[in-house]
Chain A
Amino acid sequence: MQKAHNLKEYREELHETLENDFLRTSLDNFAIAYRTNRANIFKDIDVRGLIQEVAASKDAAAQNSEALFKEFKKNAEAAGVHVHFAKDGEEANRIITKIAKDADCKKIVKSKSMTAEETLLNHDLEDAGIEVTETDLGEWIIQLRHEGPSHMVMPAIHLSRYQVGDLFTEVTGKKQDTEIEKLVKVARRELRQKYVEADMGISGANFAIAETGGIGIVTNEGNARLVTTLPRVHVALMGIDKLLPNLRDALRILKVLPRNATVQNLTSYVTWITGNNECLAAEDGKKEIHYVVLDNGRSELIKDPVFSQINRCVRCGACANVCPVYRLVGGHKMGHIYIGAIGLILTYFFHGKEKAKNLVQNCINCEACKDVCAGGIDLPRLIKEVHARIQDEDGHPLPSLLLGKVLRNRKLFHTLLRTAKWGQKPVAEKDGFIRHLPMIFSKEHKFRALPTIAETPFRDWWKENRPQVDNPKYRVALFSGCVQDFVYPEQMQAAVDVFAANGVAMEFPEKQSCCGLPVQMMGETKASRDVAAQNLRAFEPDAYDYIVTLCASCAAHLKHNYPKLVMDKPSLKLRADAFSAKIIDYSSFVNDVLKVEAKDFTQTGEKATYHAPCHLCRGLDVHEAPRQLIEKSGLEYVECAEEEVCCGFGGTFSMKFPELSAELLKKKLDNVEATGADTLLTDCPGCIMQLRGGLKRRGSKVQVKHVAEVMSKNKK
C-alpha cells in the first residue's frame, strides 16, 4: 500500500525495494519467463483480434451497464439470490457485515476477491467481531503477514519460501520445512478445517451474466468451489465492471484472461453459479446467496469520454507482468491496492488523489502494458491523463510549468538551447560529453554521462548544405525533434545523405519545434496541445509524400497523439489526420519505401547488435525494418537479449527517477555487452543519449549509433 506523502518519500520507498535482492531476482525471472511463455500460448490464436473483440464487448457492456444490472438482478432474484447495490466501498462493507450478522455468521472463509481488497472488507468484518480467513494460498499468506497483495494474480510474489516457512512455523506452532511442496500441503490441511467451521463464504466474481443472473469464477486452487459450497451463506462481491450481457461474452474473455494472466490455456477451475444451490448445512437445504454489486466511482468512469475504457480491464495483471518499473520495485510500490499500470489509474478513481499523486509519475511510458492489455486499454495515455488531472487540481510544479512555458515559445526555446552551447563551454569535453554534471544534478545522475549541445544545430547546417535532388522519386519533410536538431545533428545529416542518394527531395520546415512529448509526460496538457498546433501549422502535409523522423518517440507522438490533442479544433483535426497519416520512421522509410539493397553498401561484416526503442517496436509496431537495414548496410546483426525492453530513458522519467533509470540501463547494457558486438544500433536519439552515456560511464568499447549513421558511412 502506498503511504508516501510526497515524491521524495516515495523515492525513498522505491530505494528500499531496489535493495531487496530476492524480489529483484524473482521478478526478473518471472518477467523473462512470462514473455516467452505468453508468445507460445497465443501462437495459434489471433490475439489482436481477440483483444479487439473483448474491448468491443466490454465497451458495449459499459454503455449499457444500468440495463444490464437490472436484467442481472431480475434473473438472479428469480433464481433465489438476493442482489444488493452498493454505491461505495463503505456501503458494500456495511451490507456484507449486516448479512453476516443477520444470518448469525461467526466465521467466514474467503476466496480471492480484488474488489474486497478495494473496499478493505476484512477490516470491517473483523471490527464486527467476525473471524475472516483468506483461502487462496497467496492471499492467506499476506493476510497472516498483514500485508496487501503485490500482484493481482500472484498476491505473495514478493515473498520467499523461507519467509513463508517461518510464517507457517508461527501459525502451526510446529517447525516447518521450506520445501514449497510441503508448505502447500500444510496450508491445505490448515485451511481445510477453516472451511469446515465457516458459516459464510465470500467470493469475488469474474463474470456477472445478465441473461442468466449467474456468476463465473476463475481459480486454480479450487478454493472458490469450496467457499461457495460448504458454508450455508455465500456472498459474492463484484464491481459493475463485471456485468456482461451473455455467456458468450464471458467465454470470450475466458479465452484471453488465463492466457494473459498466468499463461494457461484455462485455469484448473471455472465455476458457474446460477441461483441458490443445494446446501445441506442450511435448514431448508438451500444456500442463502447474496450478490453485492459495487459502483465506487465506476459509473462515473464509464461516462467519462477518456477514461471509460478502464471498464475493459479483466484483472489479468498482465500490465504488471511486462512493466519494467514493476519488475524493479514490485507491486507494493507500483500501486496502492490495484497494482501495475491499471493500478496507477484505478488508485486515483477508487482511492483518491492523495494515494495516486506519486504513483502516477512512476510510468516510463514504454507502452509494454498497452501492448499486452487483454482489453486493449491505452494505459500509458490514461496514466498521463491522471497525472495531468492531479496537477490541474493541485497546481503544477515549477519545473513542469517552466518547461511548458518554454516549449510553447519556439524562439525562446531555441535561443535557450543556443545559449546553453556557450554556457557549457567550461565543462564540455572534446569527446562530446559534459565533464562534470552541473550542480542541479545530484549524484544519482552519475550513472550516465550527458552529451554537449552541438556546435552547429541541424537547422543551421541545412540552410547551407541542403542537397539538390533532380527528378525526385519522393518528396519528404524532415522532422528532427530537438535532440537531433541541437545535440546530434550528425544523425540527421546521415539521413539526408542516404535520402539524397535515393532520389528523395527534402524540406525542413523551419518553424517546427519540439514534438511536445516531454510536456505531455509531465502532465502539461495545455502546453502539449499548443506545441502540437504549432508543429501542425509548420508543416503542409499535402506537399509531401511522407514526413520522416529519425526519433521513434517523436514519430509515435506525432502519429498517435496529435489527432487526439487537437480533437476539439475541427480545422486543425483534419490537418492532424493528414499529418499523422504521412508520419513514418527512418527505418520503415528506407527499408520498406526506398527498398535499399545490400549491393549499394560496403559489406564490413562487423558485428552489431540492436536496441529496439519502445516507441518504435510498440509505438509504431515496427520490428523487422531496422534489423534488415543493419544487415543490408553491411554489418552482421547479433540479437541482444530483451531487445525490445526499455533502456530506462523515458525522457523526463530519467530525471525524476534516476535510480530506476540507472537500473533499467544497467540491465540493458549488460545484455548488450554479452552479445560481444562492438556496435550498438538504435532508432531514437533519446535512447542513444541514455545508452551512450551509460557505456561511457562504464568505460565500454561499444559504440552507439543511429541506424542512419552506419547506412551513410557504408554507402558505396
Chain B
Amino acid sequence: MPSKEDLYQLFVEKAELVAAKVTSIASEDDALKYVINLCGEKEACQLLVSGCEADLSDKAEALCDTKQKKVIAAPGLNEDLYKKLAAQAKKAGFECIDKGMRDHLAGVDIGFTYAEYGIADTGTLMLDCPGEEMRLATMVSEFHVCVLPKSKIKANTYAVEKMMLTRMKKTPDYLAFITGPSRTADIERVLALGVHGPLELHILLLED
C-alpha cells in the first residue's frame, strides 16, 4: 500500500504532466484568495481562449458582446464559503454567480469548484455534477479552479469504483473525471489547450 504522502506526490506529478497547475493551500481562505487574485490577473473582460482580437463570423462575435464584466461562477459551494467569495469578488469588482449559467454561455472567467476525489495514478479529479450549473461552470470557464482535500486522493480508478457506483445508482447522475485542461491535437497533431472546455486547470490541494 502506498502511503498518503506517496499518493499525494504521485497525484501532483501526474496532474502537472497534463498541464494542470497544482498549488498546496492551508485553508479554504487561501483558496478564495487564490481565485480573486487569479481573476484580477486576467486581462480585463477578455475571453482569453478566443481572444477578443480573433476574427470571428458575425454571429459568433455577437455572443462575445454579452460578456461585459469579469465573472466568477461557483455553483455547488457550501453557503458560507460562497458568501465569503461573493463578498470578496464584489470588493474586487467582479461578478460572482452560483446559478444562471445559461446567461453566461459566452464564457466566464473562473469556474470554482470542489472535487469529490482525486485519482493519483492519472492526476485526475472526480467531480459529481448531476446539477447543470456545476457542469456548465466547469466547462464554459476560461480557468477552472478546483479544491481537492488531500485526504480524498485515491490510488487509481478501481479505488473509486464503489463510490462511483453509489452515486450512479442514486439516479440521475452525471459524473466526471477531469484530467488537465481541455485539449486537442486534431490539427497536425499539435497539442492545443482549451478547445471547448477550460484553457487552464488549477488544482488547489487542501491540507486536511
| A225, chain B: closest CB distance, angstroms | 5
| A192, chain B: closest CB distance, angstroms | 6
* Minimal Cβ-Cβ distance residue in B for A159: B187
* Minimal Cβ-Cβ distance residue in B for A45: B121
Interface residues in B133-178 by Cβ distance below 8 A to A read 135-136, 139-140, 157-158, 161, 164-165, 168-169, 171-178
Interface residues on B, range: 35 or more
User: In whole angstroms, how far apart are the Cα atoms of A657 and B158 in the complex?
Assistant: 47
Q: Which of B32-40, B53-61, B77-85, B87-95 lies at the interface?
A: B53-61
Which of B58, B179, B182, B187 has most A Cβ within 10 Å? B187
User: In whole angstroms, how far apart are the Cα atoms of A192 and B194 in the complex?
Assistant: 13
The answer, yes or no, to whether A403 is at the interface (CB within 8 Å) is: no
Residues of B close to A223: CB separation below 8 A: 195-196
Given known A-B contacts A251-B157, A278-B131, A222 and B164 have beta carbons under 8 A apart: no
Contact with B194, one of A188, A191, A265, A273 (Cβ below 8 angstroms): A188
| A258, chain B: closest CB distance, angstroms | 9
User: In whole angstroms, how far apart are the Cα atoms of A274 and B55 in the complex?
Assistant: 39
Given known A-B contacts A156-B187, A251-B161, A266-B177, A222 and B197 have beta carbons under 8 A apart: yes
Interface residues in A10-68 by Cβ distance below 8 A to B read 26, 29-30
The answer, yes or no, to whether B21 is at the interface (CB within 8 Å) is: no
Interface residues in A237-279 by Cβ distance below 8 A to B read 247-248, 251, 254-255, 262, 264-279
The answer, yes or no, to whether A568 is at the interface (CB within 8 Å) is: no
Query: Are B188 and A266 in contact (CB-based, < 8 A)?
Result: no
Query: Are B157 and A164 in contact (CB-based, < 8 A)?
Result: no
User: In whole angstroms, how far apart are the Cα atoms of A189 and B188 in the complex?
Assistant: 20
Residues of B close to A266: CB separation below 8 A: 122, 124, 177, 179
* Minimal Cβ-Cβ distance residue in B for A190: B60
Query: Are B174 and A183 in contact (CB-based, < 8 A)?
Result: no
Contact with B164, one of A262, A264, A272 (Cβ below 8 angstroms): A272
Interface size of A by Cβ–Cβ distance < 8 Å? 79
The answer, yes or no, to whether A437 is at the interface (CB within 8 Å) is: no
The proximity string for B residues 91-117 relative to A, scoring 1 for CB distances below 8 Å and 0 otherwise, is 000000000001001110000000000
The answer, yes or no, to whether A4 is at the interface (CB within 8 Å) is: no
Query: Are B131 and A184 in contact (CB-based, < 8 A)?
Result: no
Given known A-B contacts A192-B63, A195-B105, A214-B168, A265 and B179 have beta carbons under 8 A apart: yes
Interface residues in B180-198 by Cβ distance below 8 A to A read 180-190, 192, 194-198
Query: Are A279 and B176 in contact (CB-based, < 8 A)?
Result: no
Query: Are A188 and B178 in contact (CB-based, < 8 A)?
Result: no
Given known A-B contacts A141-B186, A164-B187, A183-B187, A251 and B57 have beta carbons under 8 A apart: no
| A492, chain B: closest CB distance, angstroms | 46
Given known A-B contacts A191-B196, A212-B168, A247-B161, A225 and B132 have beta carbons under 8 A apart: no
Residues of B close to A78: CB separation below 8 A: 171
Contact with B161, one of A248, A278, A279 (Cβ below 8 angstroms): A248
* Minimal Cβ-Cβ distance residue in A for B162: A247
Closest 10 CB pairs of A and B: A222-B197, A275-B172, A275-B171, A174-B55, A138-B186, A79-B171, A270-B177, A221-B195, A184-B192, A137-B186
A interface residue numbers (CB < 8 A to B): 26, 29-30, 78-80, 135-138, 141, 154-157, 159-161, 164, 171-176, 180-193, 195-196, 211-214, 220-223, 225-226, 228-230, 247-248, 251, 254-255, 262, 264-281, 286
B interface residue numbers (CB < 8 A to A): 14, 17-18, 47, 49-51, 54-60, 62-64, 102, 105-107, 121-124, 130-132, 135-136, 139-140, 157-158, 161, 164-165, 168-169, 171-190, 192, 194-198
What 14 additional pairs, Cβ within 8 angstroms, besides A161-B190, A225-B176? A135-B196, A137-B187, A154-B186, A156-B187, A174-B55, A190-B57, A213-B171, A221-B197, A225-B197, A264-B18, A265-B123, A268-B179, A269-B176, A273-B173
Task: Write 9 A-B pairs (CB below 8 A) sorted by A numbering.
Answer: A159-B187, A174-B56, A176-B55, A222-B182, A222-B197, A223-B196, A225-B176, A226-B139, A273-B174
